[in-house]
């Protein structure tokens, strides 16, 4: 009522009042009350907290940005390959030893060599329909809105999580994606001295949750994370 009572005919005041109302409602919901049912956890506490338990199944999610997105995906792959299969559509850049280092079982990762746009789309279609994997990871490709919608619908029906690795999601993908995470490099961690006597122990990066089908916009947050080499 307080928010409604303070409504002013001018547009700026309306916007301010709306923002205040959103904040009040978000605060009432309480941070602990939200958990996504059947979420696929990454077992990385900061990420799971940010995503209210993990990635929701049956959606299209994007991991955008540069450094950190594959580190995040590797955690999820490691967790899912404990009991399931995971499919990765490889454009030739996959480096399996890194995945193994993150704890992924390589014997349960299907590496699908698809490079052309049509091949990728058809392979994802087959994988989503078959439901043999809990997670399908694909590179970002230029597809029409209708195809992204179709893949999103297939993911929803099959309950398979489809993650698209994109530097920056285009308009069509952004619309189809129900979870969007943006990763940004923060700083490198150097162990020892610079040069010959030093080596990189990993890097810090920030994750910005930009969209989530179950989390209201006002509660989308960020997290800082460290990707550390063992």
Partner 1 sequence: MLLCIDLSGEIPEPEQWEELLDALDAVSPLIDDVRSGLAYLDMHGSPGGASAWMTQTRTLLSAYGRVARLGVGLNKIAARAAAHVADGSLCRPGSEAELLAELPLALLDIEPEMIERLTLLGIERLGDLAALPHGPFVRRFGSAAARWHELAKGVDRRPFLPRTRTVAIEASIFGEGRAVDEAQVFFALRMLLTRVCSDLERCGKRAGALHLSLELEDAGTVSYDVPLAMPTAAERTMFEMLRAKLEGATFEAPVVGLRIQARILEEGGEAQALLRAVDFDPAKVAVTIARLEAILGESVTRATMRQAHLLEERFAYEPFSLDKRKVTPLQTESDRGSAEESRTAVPQLRLLEVREIPVELRAGEPAIVDRQAVTQCAGPWRIQERPFVPAPITRDEYDVVLADGTFARIYHQGAHWYLRGVYE
- Quick one: 103 or 170, whose CB is closer to partner 1? 103
Position among 14, 19, 25, 98 found at the interface with partner 1 (CB under 8 A): 98
DSSP secondary structure, 105-161, as one string: -GGGEEEEE--SHHHHHHHHHHHHHHT-EEEEEEE-----HHHHHHHHHHHHHHT-E
Q: Site mask, partner 1, residues 136-175, x = CB under 8 A?
A: ----------------------------------------
- Quick one: 22 or 226, whose CB is closer to partner 1? 226
Position among 3, 17, 34, 94 found at the interface with partner 1 (CB under 8 A): 94
User: How many whole angstroms separate alpha carbon 68 and alpha carbon 80?
Assistant: 19
- Quick one: 69 or 212, whose CB is closer to partner 1? 69
Residue 200 sits at the vertex; the CA angle it makes with 196 and 206, to the nearest 5 degrees, is: 155
Residues 144, 146, 148, 150: is their CA dihedral positive or negative?
negative
Q: Site mask, partner 1, residues 73-92, x = CB under 8 A?
A: xxx--xx--xxxx------x
Position among 18, 23, 27, 200 found at the interface with partner 1 (CB under 8 A): 200
User: How many whole angstroms separate alpha carbon 40 and alpha carbon 38?
Assistant: 6
Indicate whether 9 belongs to the interface with partner 1 (CB under 8 A).
no
Q: Which of residues 14-53 bind partner 1 (CB under 8 A)?
A: 42-45, 47
Helix (H) or strand (E) holding 207: strand 198-212
User: How many whole angstroms separate alpha carbon 10 and alpha carbon 14?
Assistant: 7
Indicate whether 99 belongs to the interface with partner 1 (CB under 8 A).
yes
User: How many whole angstroms separate alpha carbon 27 and alpha carbon 132?
Assistant: 40
- Quick one: 11 or 187, whose CB is closer to partner 1? 187
Min separation Cβ 138 and partner 1, Å:
13
Query: Three-class SS of residue 93?
Result: coil
Position among 53, 159, 202, 221 found at the interface with partner 1 (CB under 8 A): 202
With CB under 8 A as the rule, give the number of residues binding partner 1: 71
């Amino acid at each position: 009522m307080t928010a409604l009572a303070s409504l002013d005919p001018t547009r700026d005041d309306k916007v301010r009042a709306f923002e205040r109302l959103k904040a009040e409602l978000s605060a009432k919901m309480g941070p602990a009350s939200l958990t996504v049912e059947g979420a696929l956890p990454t077992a990385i506490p900061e990420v799971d907290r940010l995503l209210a338990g993990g990635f929701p199944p049956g959606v299209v999610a994007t991991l955008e940005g540069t450094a950190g997105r594959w580190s995040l995906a590797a955690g999820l792959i490691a967790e899912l390959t404990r009991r399931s299969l995971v499919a990765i559509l490889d454009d030739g850049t996959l480096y399996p030893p890194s995945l193994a280092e993150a704890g992924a079982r390589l014997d349960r990762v299907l590496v699908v060599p698809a490079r052309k746009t049509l091949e990728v789309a058809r392979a994802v279609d087959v994988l989503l329909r078959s439901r043999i994997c809990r997670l399908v990871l694909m590179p970002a490709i230029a597809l029409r809105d209708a195809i992204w919608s179709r893949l999103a619908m297939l993911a929803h029906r099959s309950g398979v999580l489809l993650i698209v690795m994109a530097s920056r999601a285009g308009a069509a993908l952004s619309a189809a994606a129900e979870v969007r995470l943006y990763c940004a490099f923060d700083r490198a961690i150097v162990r020892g001295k610079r040069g010959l006597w030093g080596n990189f122990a990993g890097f810090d990066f920030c994750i910005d949750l930009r969209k989530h089908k179950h989390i209201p916009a006002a509660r989308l947050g960020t997290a800082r994370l460290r990707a550390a080499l063992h």
